[in-house]
Structures are given as C-alpha cells and as structure tokens.
Amino acid sequence: MEYRASFIIPAFNEELRIRGLLGALTDPTLIGQCAIFVVCNGCTDKTMEVAQEYEGVTVVEIQDVGKHFALNEGDRLAGDIFPRFYCDADFQINSESIIRMIDFLSVDDAIVGGPHATFDYAHRPWSVKKFYEARATLPFLSNWFDANLVGRAVYGTSRRARLKFGKFPRLRNDDTFFYAQFEDSEKFEIPGAAVSVSTPHSLRELIRNEVRVFKGNREFIAYLSQQDHERSRIVQDDVPFVRKLLRGANVVRGWLRGINISSYPTLAVYTSIIVAIWVNLEIVERLQRPIRWR
C-alpha cells in the first residue's frame, strides 16, 4: 500500500489519552493515507493493548526508556514514507486538519511546520486556567509561542527537510531540537490545521510538567554548547552582568507596555507559577532526582 504520510507516536503510559488521536488517524475518510506507528516505551499500563485495537496501526514495544529512542525507532519503521509527523498522544485533531497537514508538507521544498493549537482547560483549577490564558492573551508570550511553534503536540516535515539531521539526540524537548535545525523561512504554522491540546488537571501536575520542560531547555542549551552549532540562536557574549541586568529590565518594561493593566493579575499568576517551577527545578537538580520523559 502506498501511504501519503507517516505518523510516529512515542507512547509512555498513554492508555487513557491515546484513543482520540488514533480514532482521528484511522477515520474512514483517511483509509490508506496514513501509516501509523505507535512506539511503546517503558509502558506499565495497557497502552499497547489499546493501540492494537485500531486496525492499520503498527504497534511495537522497545526496551530502551527515553523518548528519543521511540522517535528514532519510529523513523526506522516509517522508512521512506513522507511527509512525516511526530505526535504526542494526548491531543485532539480532526481528519480535515490531518489532510491539510499532509497536503501542506507534500512538496519538494525543505519545509516543516505544525498546526494552530488551542489549549483545553475547561474544568481545570483557576490557577491552571490563568497560566494558559496568559500564554494565549499576553502579547509577549503569545508572540513567542506563535514564532517558535513549540508545544503544539505534533510537528511535521517534508521529505527534503528531514534530510537536514540524522537521529534525534538524547533530549527531552524534541520539538525544540527539531525546529532549531531550520531557518525561520522554512518553518510554518500550517493553514487550516488545528489541534486541541489537553492541559494538566491540577497545579501540581502543571508544575511537574513544566519542570520537565525547563529541564529540557537546560539540556538543549548544554547540547548546543557541546556542538559546533553555527546556526544556534543562543549567543555567548562577554557583556558585563550589570549591563545584562539593565537590558533585561528594558525587555520587561517593553512587555509591560504591551499589555493592558487589566491583564496584570493574569501576569502576576503566570509569573508566580514560573517562579514555583524554577524553584522546583532547582530542588530536583540539587537532590539529583530523576525526571521521566513524561
């Protein structure tokens, strides 16, 4: 069978979350179009059994624990089926958006991209709602997430673009690594494609999840420092500390000028949660506690 695209889904204990995505990918309107690979990685629940319920889905289990192992095994299984999409398991998408993503990346150009994302925080605690409201409504945050395309639960690549790097390295934030391989002119929000991303059900879960993201960002910076990464956006300089502090203060001042005073409470909640995440990360690192990839 000649598929139009491949979808790789690394899965760690996704028994309760993966049905929505698999249901969309195996929708009758998409029969024969999507090669779907679920790579179970360290699961202790029934993720594998649930995925096997869906006809046409290839399900494998690997012993090496780590998302990068699952991504690379998925690449091996998918072979030469492009465009290719790397998916989290816990988001909602419809068949129309899937087709739009496939069509957009079925080109000879080296381009990558992801859908527009909204975050489902219905029936969540007030603090969790405010955290995601801040990301969506505060200009300096929404502009950053729009420009960087990360955190959208799925990202895709054309055949030619995927040739730009080999295997995924041992990094938590795989989407950050992925998009860093490409110029801004090669990265797109795919028109007409949209996903709904589930959010944490408690403030504790939110902080735990974001600690993993912050840890991943630190790992990525360390990874770049070890590479001859000429295209890195991270610049090492010798600017004195006081000048850096003043420069940072000017940036914050610009942020505040860009939002309405009515949004200050939302900003205060967001900032408080970010501080809590940073403190928790410092504690985790000092105590050398492990952080799982999910």
- The reply to whether 138 falls in a domain is yes
- The reply to whether 181 falls in a domain is yes
- pTM metric for this prediction: 0.87
Instruction: Give the domain CATH number at 80.
Output: 3.90.550.10
- The reply to whether 118 falls in a domain is yes
pLDDT of residue 214: 92
Q: Which of 11-15, 210-214, 289-293 shows the lowest mean pLDDT across its residues?
A: 289-293
- The reply to whether 272 falls in a domain is no
Report the percentage of the chain scoring pLDDT > 90. 70
Summarised one tens digit per residue, pLDDT across range 107-161 is 999 999 999 999 999 999 999 999 999 988 888 888 888 888 999 999 999 999 9
- The reply to whether 217 falls in a domain is no
- The reply to whether 288 falls in a domain is no
Distance CA 193, CA 200 (A): 23
57 Cβ contact list (under 8 Å, min separation 6): 22, 25, 26, 36, 37, 38, 51
How many domains is the chain partitioned into structurally?
1
- The reply to whether 214 falls in a domain is no
pLDDT of residue 254: 55
pLDDT of residue 255: 53
Q: Tell which residue, 36, 54, 43, has the closest CA to residue 15.
A: 43
Buried b / exposed e over 222-241, threshold 16 CB at 10 Å, is ebbeeeeeeeeeeeeeeeee
- Residue 57: domain span: 5-201
- The reply to whether 164 falls in a domain is yes
